[in-house]
Amino acid sequence: MGLVVQKYGGSSVADAESVKRVAKRIVETKQAGNDVVVVVSAMGDTTDDLIDLAKEVSPIPPARELDMLLTAGERISMAVLAMAIANLGHEARSFTGSQAGVITDAEHGKARIIDVTPGRISTALADGAIAIVAGFQGVSQSTKDITTLGRGGSDTTAVALAAALNAEVCEIYTDVDGVFSADPRIVPAARRLPNISYEEMLEMAASGAKVLHLRCVEYARRFGLPIHVRSSFSHREGTWVVNREGNDMEDPIIAGVAHDRSEAKVTVVGVPDKPGQAAAIFSTVAGAGINIDMIVQNVSGASTGRTDISFTAPRSDGAKAVQALETIKDQIGFEALRYDDQIGKISLVGAGMRSHPGVSAKLFACLAEAGVNIEMISTSEIRISVVVREDDVNTAVAAAHTAFDLDAADGEAVVYGGTGR
Amino acid sequence: MGLVVQKYGGSSVADAESVKRVAKRIVETKQAGNDVVVVVSAMGDTTDDLIDLAKEVSPIPPARELDMLLTAGERISMAVLAMAIANLGHEARSFTGSQAGVITDAEHGKARIIDVTPGRISTALADGAIAIVAGFQGVSQSTKDITTLGRGGSDTTAVALAAALNAEVCEIYTDVDGVFSADPRIVPAARRLPNISYEEMLEMAASGAKVLHLRCVEYARRFGLPIHVRSSFSHREGTWVVNREGNDMEDPIIAGVAHDRSEAKVTVVGVPDKPGQAAAIFSTVAGAGINIDMIVQNVSGASTGRTDISFTAPRSDGAKAVQALETIKDQIGFEALRYDDQIGKISLVGAGMRSHPGVSAKLFACLAEAGVNIEMISTSEIRISVVVREDDVNTAVAAAHTAFDLDAADGEAVVYGGTGR
């Protein structure tokens, strides 16, 4: 057998009982003859509780100290998990991100991994021990300060360690059975995907599928590392995220339908139609630290010499975007700002799109038939996204899922374990 | 001004409000022109909560992992304290024991400091920042694993750092106003001692005074580092623990009266009076890992050829001691074991004893007058300890305190802030 890296999220180690269950699973993997490295997140709500504590003493805690504080969370979970494994008669050694050699830049709160030097992990494995590593954290190469990797950080830790240790697979344990063709809460006929390509998974993640983070998928793709997304509550196979060379004719054209309700739309109304205006608008928004997703510029009204520019961005940044744009209203000379947070986005993702023309047309037709109005459109080589009213999201997802023959056949078991996270 | 090391215990940083209060105090010290290094314990009951969590997954958690777990406690308090200081407009940087250069042996749970290399602390101070250091923890020189220092560990961290940084003073903040001539809960007329010598403080600590741990006083004495024990709830002067050369004639003969209710007495009855028996008994007890305090051997009864040997040890080890001795009953041939946990010890401590004969006689007389029976006696150069019935402890302490003129004069303010810890 080989080396398996397993990652367990906070919901898999929410309390002592869950920790014991996960410990049992880890020991089974070890007893099957594998070397095992486990990456673990903080238990349950620990991170939120620590953030609340920080807020009690400081409205804007310094980022270095917030990282120091939050990394206590995984320190607790990894030590407790190591104890639970020891209690089953196997040696386990826990390591902080720093001890595991997760070297990052110095961007506290969203550090990027720049090197992984897992010498102590290799030694632990050579000694026959199971290595437990704190997810989400590392140490800055330049300042030697403790850093956190930000959103999806533990998945990234797991993939980075798996790549550095040349693992056979990185198993990401979650509370669902894998990646689905759509959110089963919206589409009961959604199917678990037995496998999906890195590219498709990237587009799904970017389009709102929350089971894996963009960043960890990017990392795995770069190293060609297989990810196995599966449930910590069952022993069923999950979804393999792998390199798929070429298109198998048997593969479905569309892998899945993702949706996203976390964005809002900002419309800059009556922008004078002259060069440099769009640049001024988007450099202002970017300067405020806001990530823009889709952009649509209306055809300029010939009679008015003015145009409307709309874009979508995270709702949590909506107020900041409007505020930033207000400051350049006079400079640009636009007429008004409109803010709309009642939108939703649905995205069709599939590598088969490359070789199958007409996917867009079919999507638009099925949405029209379902009475769903399309407000914005954006495409990549293997994705089509449309913005619709938030109230229409469920209808749109279900209609597209059916139109592209993704619905499970009658009697095909759809297993769904949890919250869609 | 110079460099001040301050140590705040768990009760001084029990919650967010306490942390803010302590932060204010630290900033005042900084603003007075000092460089400030702060050593902090885990907040309130954090350590106990973590131990409970460990027990939930493993009855006997591996010591390495328990240390990893418990050190999360100071990590939280130091980061939160640094945030609270930042919120007052001063830069603070927190450091783990490992980052602060606290190098220990590999004895998890009771590691000893073997070196302190506080390079990062010096850098922080040179940058004008306040340095916050996690107490109670270090890193093993041989294994690079995280260790904890055991009981009184944070005090020891503070003194060790103060010595390594050549600080002017190590301020130990607690919830009482300093070291008292007796426990004010027992003796309302007890006085705060403005100063006490290392030797006296060592004897007081060994005799049950809980305000400072033996280990940190030993460390301070070795480096001649002044300790200032004071309350974090007031700005009053506390007690200075210092080198006192020679005896000032004005100094009282006796510094204080300590008491201890944590011990039990074991009597080995009818030990055959021949060489080697005491050695066998005490090597057995020591082999069980039990620290013995006082030992008394009765004069052998000439007619029986047998003698009784009594000793005191922590009550928490009582059962273990009896168990260990039972195993050698036949080998030694003693008649019976008696176990008595209803005892108490009172100790008179004072460097003046050296030059003032008659202290013992005066103590015994005053106890007799108070109707207190003495069961065991032990002395050092500057201490006399007697074991009495536990019910007689308060009476004995008060009687000795009065007899040696330690009671505060009428109208002399006795300030006592807390629980006698």
Domains of chain B, by residue range, sit at 3-174, 248-421
Mutate which: A40, A50, A57, vs B, most B CBs within 10 A: A57
- Bridge partners (DSSP) of residue A345 are A260, A387
Low-confidence stretches of chain A (pLDDT beneath 50):
411, 413-421
* Residue of A211, A181, A218, A180 whose CA lies nearest to A7: A211
Of B252 and B42, the structure prediction assigns the larger pLDDT to: B42
- Residue A102, number of CB atoms within 10 A of its CB: 32
pLDDT number for residue A250: 56
Q: How many CB pairs under 8 A join A and B?
A: 108
Average pLDDT over residues B205-216: 89
Provide the 10 A C-beta neighbour count for residue B240: 19
pLDDT value of position B1: 60
Let me know the angle formed at the C-alpha of B37 by B35 and B42, rounded to the nearest 5 degrees: 155
* Cα–Cα distance measured from residue A237 to residue A256, given in angstroms and rounded to the nearest whole number: 18
Contacts of B75 in chain A (CB under 8 A): 68-69, 71-72, 75
pLDDT at residue A357, rounded to an integer: 80
Closest CA to B202 of B265, B255, B135: B255
As its CATH architecture, domain B248-421 has 2-Layer Sandwich (3.30)
ipTM of the prediction: 0.84
Give pLDDT tens digits for A282-327: 999 999 889 888 988 877 666 778 889 999 999 999 999 999 999 9
Name the token pair of B69: 């777990």
Residue B414, pLDDT above cutoff 70: no
Nearest to B156 by CA among B236, B227, B235: B227
Of B351, B326, B350, which Cα lies nearest the Cα of B338?
B326
Name the DSSP class of A108.
T
Per CATH, is A3-175 categorized as 3.40.30.10?
Answer: no
Q: What pLDDT does A395 receive?
A: 96
Mean pLDDT, residues B349-357: 85
- Judged on CB neighbours under 10 Å (0-12, 13-18, 19+), A364 is middle
Q: What pLDDT score was predicted for residue A282?
A: 92
For an interface test with A, give the residue of B46, B65, B148 to mutate (most A CBs within 10 A): B65
* Phi, psi (rounded to 5 degrees) for A348: -100, 125
Mean pLDDT for B96-124 is 96
Q: What is the mean pLDDT of chain B?
A: 91
Q: In what helix (H) or strand (E) does residue A76 lie, and over which residues does it extend?
A: helix A63-86
Which region among A220-234, A398-412, B108-122, B274-288 has the lowest average model confidence (pLDDT)? Answer: A398-412
Mutation target among A19, A68, A133, A144 for the B interface, most CBs of B within 10 A:
A68
* Nearest partner of A174 among A152, A145, A142, judged by Cα: A152
Residues in chain B closer than 8 A to A75 (CB atoms): 68-69, 71-72, 75
Residues with Cβ within 8 Å of residue B302, at least 6 apart in sequence: none
Amino acid type, A97: G
Q: Average pLDDT in the B343-359 region?
A: 89
Using an 8 Å CB-CB cutoff, list residues of chain A that contact chain B.
Answer: 16, 19-20, 23, 50, 53-54, 56-59, 61-62, 64-66, 68-69, 71-72, 75-76, 78-80, 82-84, 86-87, 92-94, 99, 120, 144
* CA–CA dist A201, A351 (Å, integer): 10
CATH topology of domain B3-174: Carbamate kinase (3.40.1160)
| pLDDT over 50 (residue B249) | yes
Residue B413 is predicted with a pLDDT of 43
| E-state strands within A61-203 | 92-95, 102-104, 113-116, 130-134, 137-140, 146-148, 169-174, 195-197
pLDDT tens per residue, range B165-210: 999 999 999 988 999 999 999 999 999 999 999 999 999 998 988 8
Q: A87 CB contacts (<8 Å, ≥6 apart)?
A: A20, A23, B57, B58, B59
For residue A229, the model assigns a pLDDT of 96
In one-letter notation, the amino acid at residue A387 is: V
pLDDT value of residue A251: 63
Check for a shared fold between B3-174 and B248-421.
no
